[in-house]
Amino acid sequence: MNSLDNIFKRSLASAETPAPSGLWSKIDKSLSSSETTAHLKKEALNQSKSLFSSLISTSILVVSIGVCSLLVSKNNIPVAQNNLPKTLPEKTSPIRERISQKTKTTKTQPKARNSKPSLHEIKLKSTPVTVITKINKNVPDLPLVAQPETEFNTQTNTAIKPSTLPDKIEEALNQEKKEEIHKKGEFVTFTIKYNNTSGKRVKNLKVWEEFPDWCDARTLETLGHNTTHQVKTIIKESQNTVEWKIKGDFSPDLLNPSNTGFIEYRVKINEDRKTSDLEKNKPGVK
Amino acid sequence: MNPTELNTLIEGCKRNNRVSQRELYDAFSGLLFTICLRYSKNEAEDLLQMSFIKIFNNVKQYQGAGSFEGWIKRITVNTAITHYHKKNILSKSEDITDYKEEVSSDVESSLEKMSKNDLIEVINSLPDIYKISFNLYAIEGYKHNEIADMLGISEGTSKSQLSRARKMIQQKLKQTELMEEARTI
């Protein structure tokens, strides 16, 4: 450090300048609105969960009753016999077998497309990107999960949310059109939510996302996040991906166990981006 | 503010108590606003607002391990750097060989005479990439490897940016002196 630096440090390191009047009211307003938004989001999630649960319960009940009625009428079995004895062997009980099959089918419904809205989906109404969140390779034993329905692969250390969207823009745009939400050329806002379920502190975190061709990573803008640490956004044009590197340099508790975080961003729906553009940007091709 | 009072305020903020948040704002807004002014005079108000929202939203993470003032200062600096990352200007840097520069006694004496606001003006007159490196190294006290890591640049680039920043500051001060001399003549 030279004398010039010293003069600046001495004069400015602990200097105070009165903050603009009226700024507190803006902060107060933002805090109130974020508290309200958080409350509303929580309520919406709870409502969706309870609605979903009741839908599943109802559909199981309806399917079971329907199947029972059908089988009872087909096999001409009195209704009283629906209460099948549990000791009855499987092979000699076609009714039990069929009911069981139907029930299994119903239970698999939550895994089907758009059947159970995650936080992400609730906010967006539709999910036009594949969300893949990876953890930093330097923290190999961390099961970090990006979405409530994310499957965690312990071998590759990645958390992958199955894609719920079509790969082709035409399908996506048609889908959007039906719901009257987004059109080509518009920006779509997304939120990635992550949760440390590992029981260990995380020091360095890398969140990344890849887009289908019709979402152009070059148009990405990070809108916000809830971390106090540095967030570095790296857009890889050649791969149509983005990485957010969150680094903790002063505190060991970058992400404590069970803590959550989010990153909000927006991208433009763009059908003009072609595979040839991606090829041009590959390293070494230029 | 003594440590007990500060701890009471922090605990209040952890419970989202708006009165405690206001008191904390009153206590530290001046200090943090100066930091914001050093990083971006035009957007200092926005940076301060973002910083306080982050502080209040994340105050539960503060476990009392280090100084609270240091913690909120870091949040403010990180907010400013993240802001520059969003603008994507940090990658527009070149890696050149570092060179040593000497500060003339004239420059030193004119700097000594300058007010806090004038010094902030001098820093703000630098291009963004030099301004950030100078702030982080000279005032915040980070090392070059830390700055390189924070900004996603090489250590060499950090050193060269600092050198250029110092050189620009000296040139600006000399120009100002010459202009003043011309006025007096």
Judged by CB atoms closer than 8 Å, whether chains meet at A24 and B33 is answered as no
Name which residue leads in pLDDT, B171 or B32: B32
Average pLDDT over residues B116-122: 89
Show the 3-state SS of chain A.
CCHHHHHHHHHHCCCCCCCCCCHHHHHHHHHHHHHHHHHHHHHHHHHHHHHHHHHHHHHHHHHHHHHHHHHHHHHCCCHHHHCCCCCCCHHHCHHHHHHHHHHHHHHHHHHCCCCCCCHHHHHHCCCCCCCEEECCCCCCCCCEECCCCCEEECCCCEEECCCCCCCCHHHHHHHHHHHCCCCCCCEEEEEEEEEECCCCCECEEEEEEECCCCEEEEEEEEEEECCCCEEEEEEECCCCEEEEEEECCCCCCCECCCCEEEEEEEEEECCCCCHHHHHHCCCCCC
Residues of A in contact with B116 (CB under 8 A): 11-12, 15, 17
Instruction: Give the per-residue pLDDT at B107.
Output: 73
Chains A, B: CB pairs < 8 Å: 139
Phi and psi at A59, nearest 5°, equal -65, -35
Rounded Cα gap, residues B75 and B39, in angstroms: 13
Rounded Cα gap, residues B109 and B107, in angstroms: 6
Contact A264, A225 (CB under 8 A): yes
- What is the bridge-based pairing of β-strands A204-210 and A187-196? unpaired
Judged by CB atoms closer than 8 Å, whether chains meet at A250 and B74 is answered as yes
A10 vs B: CB within 8 A: no
Best residue in B29, B137, B163 for a mutation probing chain A (most A CBs within 10 Å): B29
Could you give the strand order of the β-sheet that contains A230-236, starting from the edge strand earlier in sequence? A204-210, A241-247, A230-236
Q: What is the mean pLDDT of chain B?
A: 85
| Structural tokens at position B11 | 């605990």
Sign of CA dihedral B6, B8, B13, B17: negative
Model confidence at B123, pLDDT cuts 50, 70, 90, reads very high
pLDDT digits (tens, 9 = 90+) for B128-159: 889 999 999 999 999 999 898 888 888 888 99
Instruction: Give the per-residue pLDDT at A102.
Output: 33
Q: What is the ipTM of this complex?
A: 0.81
pLDDT digits (tens, 9 = 90+) for B163-172: 999 999 988 8
Interface of A with B in 52-81 (CB under 8 A): none
Instruction: Give the per-residue pLDDT at B72.
Output: 93
Name which residue leads in pLDDT, B162 or A161: B162
Rounded Cα gap, residues A227 and A225, in angstroms: 6
Instruction: Give the per-residue pLDDT at B151.
Output: 85
Name which residue leads in pLDDT, A236 or B35: B35
Rounded Cα gap, residues A248 and A68, in angstroms: 59
* Torsional class of A244: left (φ above 0), alpha (ψ -120 to 50), beta (otherwise): beta
Contact B111, B42 (CB under 8 A): no
Judged by average pLDDT, the poorest of A61-65, B16-20, B54-58, B73-77 is A61-65
Best residue in A6, A201, A230 for a mutation probing chain B (most B CBs within 10 Å): A230
Closest partner CB to A17 (pick from B33, B139, B166): B33
Rounded Cα gap, residues B132 and B146, in angstroms: 13
A236: Cα within 13 Å, side-chain hemisphere: 14
Residues of A in contact with B101 (CB under 8 A): 2
Rounded Cα gap, residues B140 and B11, in angstroms: 27
Beta bridge partners of A24: none
Instruction: Give the per-residue pLDDT at A56.
Output: 78
**Nearest residue of chain A to residue B122 (CA atoms):** A8
Best residue in A2, A10, A14, A17 for a mutation probing chain B (most B CBs within 10 Å): A17
Rounded Cα gap, residues A224 and B49, in angstroms: 13
Residues of A in contact with B53 (CB under 8 A): 27, 30-31, 34
Best residue in B52, B107, B171 for a mutation probing chain A (most A CBs within 10 Å): B52
Judged by CB atoms closer than 8 Å, whether chains meet at A5 and B138 is answered as yes
A8 vs B: CB within 8 A: yes
Contact A109, A115 (CB under 8 A): yes
The verdict on pTM exceeding 0.80 is: no
* pLDDT mean values, one per 10 residues, chain A (286 residues): 82 86 87 74 73 76 73 54 39 34 29 32 32 34 35 45 46 45 69 72 73 78 80 82 72 66 78 45 31
Contact B101, B166 (CB under 8 A): yes
Contact A36, B55 (CB under 8 A): no
| Structural tokens at position B70 | 């240091």
Rounded Cα gap, residues B74 and B81, in angstroms: 10
Give the CA distances from residue B2 to residues A13, A279, B13, B52, in Å, rounded to whole numbers and listed in that order.
Answer: 20, 61, 17, 21
Nearest-CA neighbor of A270 among A187, A175, A166, A180?
A: A187
A155 vs B: CB within 8 A: no
Instruction: Give the per-residue pLDDT at B24.
Output: 93
**Cβ-Cβ contacts under 8 Å for A165 (sequence gap 6 or more):** A126, A127, A128, A129, A130, A172, A175, A212
